[in-house]
Amino acid sequence: MSIFHSSVRLAASATTATATSSLTSSSSSHAVTTALRHSATFATAAAASTMSASTSTPRPRASSPSSSSSSLGSRRSSSPTNMAVDANAYSSSYATTASVGSSRGFASSSSPSSSSSSSYKPVLTTKTINPNVLKTEYAVRGELSNRANKYAQLIADGKAKQEGLPFDSVVTANIGNPQQQPFLAQKPLTFWRQVAALTELPELMDTPGMDKVFPADVQERARLLLEDVGSVGAYSHSKGASVVRKHIAEFIEERDGYPADPELIYLTSGASGGVQLLMQVLIASRDTGIMIPIPQYPLYSATLALYDATPVEYDLNPFDDWSLDVEAMARSIDEARARGTDVRALVIINPGNPTGQCLLEQNIRDLVRMAHDKRIVLLADEVYQANIYQPETRPFVSFKKVVRDFSKSSDAAERRIADEVELVSFHSISKGVSGECGRRGGYFELVNIDAAVEAEVYKMASISLCPSLQGQIGVDMLVKPPREGEPSYDVYRRETEAIHATLLERSEKMAAKFDALPGVEVQPAQGALYLFPRVTLPPRAHDEARKRGKKVDEFYCLEMLDKTGICVVPGSGFGKMPERDTGACFFRTTVLAKETDSFIERYGKFHTEFLETYK
């Protein structure tokens, strides 16, 4: 059994001794033994690294007109962190208090501008472009992914042997992109592609014999969509095609039992497009604080860096199902506000990425109450709502439902929450069982947002004219799939059930096999498409990482890629830093690889050899 199953919690300030005793109180797994063996050594190594960091030259900040004079400098992430492993390379194993704007490894390093013998000075250099761009980082597609692409190209060019690659395929487990070829290759849903095909080429509907290929409900849906949008080559309404928004409203009402207004629903270019749009509206100045989970999906840290807002981090507890602590979050809002940060929104990813936890209804209720009490806008990222692995004990419950459920409270003050708490919820066609990432479709719903602000959101949406029409059509398929009795239903049901079953099987199998490896603990996913194992690495591995100027999780993941061709993402890319007190670190892998057994075998062999090398 993994220590994740225990209720051990380590406080932010835990010393090696308390960490050790806490770990001892949990089960006596090999992982615990490993953690214990190394914890003392880590305290020393980390202290040494902190000391060397504190005596080194301060790192430069990205220059911006407002940054030099601001006292924010001490509490915002702006400086490159990849140059050397320093105090920022570690955190304690679990902190219940949120921190404001710590660098957490999000910032990127800037490259020197190129020199040339010509007297022409380029307008655009890394010194002149938007400094926020320099500090924006997106680990899911960072150094590892670039190196993986290089390896994949060498293999495709038949140069793998010549270049000495010890593997003949690259497994892209770094990104939740189910249809990626050749190793994930989830088959697209037939209904989706048939409707998409007819909307692309409506003439097909007049072709003799087409009824044999395109069932009647497919043709009917394509006609309905085309009646509204005319052509998929034309701009639609900036909020998205009205027929699709109507179908989304019906979907939400059926899911939650409360009506939704199509006028408050916006189609977007993936959920990412919606998040970015909302952040533009929400962020009023660099003092605007947005709460994000740690670990988190880097869309959030990247967007906050880009728009120069202040991240207010709250921790998910790796020792207790990645739960969140609502009271600690409330305290940290007060603390951040006392420091001058205008905390105004809270991002919740449910089910979680990278952690896979699925919030209990009671948890969501507490969060909604807290948001009302503290006047915080809820940003509910619910893109994994269909990826649920423990439906009996951990069903998906939407924030919208919980907010509206307050209308049934016997307490008049609580009833007001239903119509007062400001909420934006996001959904996407990229995940679930459709996995249509490349189509770029998503939507958000505004709940209890001031009408004048809604008008501004509409204006902002209008600037980009409209989201991709095929993305919008994808959303229509997502929210209005074939129903029982309709011609496409049997195929649809067979396909979706098979994908669900495969994801569940892979997720459970990978979690069990990973957990059985020495020094690796992983909590089985309750939802989403990932596992986030905790790996305790020996002190010599930390030394080696330091020598190479890498965080230990980056070093481990780069070695994994070089030795196996498996590309995953280090935990620090999600803001979850290696633990100073135990020496453990994290990485995220998707559960999408087709060849699960070979994936596990490749990883297991690498991990065992890695431990042997650095023991």
Residues that bind ligand PLP (CB under 6 A): 176, 270-272, 297, 299, 349, 353, 381, 383, 428, 430, 437, 442
Nearer to ligand PLP, 270 or 565 (CB): 270
Shortest Å, Cβ 270 to ligand PLP: 3
**How many Å apart are CA 232 and CA 473, to the nearest integer?**
9
- CB-based closest residue to ligand PLP: 270
**How many Å apart are CA 239 and CA 231, to the nearest integer?**
17
| Residue 535 parent element (H or E) | strand 534-536
Nearer to ligand PLP, 37 or 141 (CB): 141
Nearer to ligand PLP, 215 or 352 (CB): 352
Nearer to ligand PLP, 442 or 519 (CB): 442
Cβ atoms within 10 Å, residue 271: 25
Shortest Å, Cβ 436 to ligand PLP: 9
Of 447, 365, 353, the C-alpha closest to 406 is 365
Shortest Å, Cβ 613 to ligand PLP: 33
DSSP 8-state code for residue 449: -
Nearer to ligand PLP, 101 or 295 (CB): 295
**How many Å apart are CA 481 and CA 259, to the nearest integer?**
19
**How many Å apart are CA 137 and CA 300, to the nearest integer?**
10
Shortest Å, Cβ 377 to ligand PLP: 17
Shortest Å, Cβ 381 to ligand PLP: 5
**How many Å apart are CA 287 and CA 75, to the nearest integer?**
11
372, 421 in Cβ contact below 8 A?
Answer: yes
Shortest Å, Cβ 428 to ligand PLP: 3
Nearer to ligand PLP, 103 or 353 (CB): 353
Shortest Å, Cβ 199 to ligand PLP: 20
349, 271 in Cβ contact below 8 A?
Answer: no
> Interhelix angle for 143-156 vs 552-564, to 10°?
10
Nearer to ligand PLP, 198 or 437 (CB): 437
Shortest Å, Cβ 529 to ligand PLP: 8
Per-residue buried b or exposed e for 567-599, using 16+ beta carbons within 10 Å of the residue's own CB: bbbbbbbbbbbbbbbbbbbbbbbbbbbeebeeb
Nearer to ligand PLP, 274 or 583 (CB): 274
**How many Å apart are CA 88 and CA 98, to the nearest integer?**
16
C-alpha dihedral sign at 80, 86, 92, 93: positive
Nearer to ligand PLP, 22 or 590 (CB): 590
292, 313 in Cβ contact below 8 A?
Answer: yes
Shortest Å, Cβ 262 to ligand PLP: 20
